[in-house]
Amino acid sequence: MSNEQKEMYSKVVRAGKRTYFFDIKATKGNDLYITLTESKKSFDDDGDGNYQKHKIFLYKEDFEKFREGLDDVLAKIDEIKLNQ
CA distances (Å), 68 to each of 3, 48, 78, in order?
32, 40, 15
Domain boundaries, the chain: 5-82
Element (H, E) at 30: none
- Specify the pTM: 0.78
Instruction: Collapse the DSSP code of 9 into the 3-class scheme (helix H, G, I; strand E, B; otherwise coil) and give the result.
Output: strand
Where residue 5 falls among pLDDT bands split at 50, 70, 90? confident
42/14 Cα distance (integer angstroms): 15
38-58 b/e with 16+ CB inside 10 Å = b?
ebeeeeeeeeeeeeeeeeeeb
Q: What is the pLDDT of residues 17-74, one digit of tens each?
A: 899 999 999 998 999 999 999 999 888 888 888 899 999 999 999 999 999 999 999 9
CATH number of 5-82: 3.10.450.700
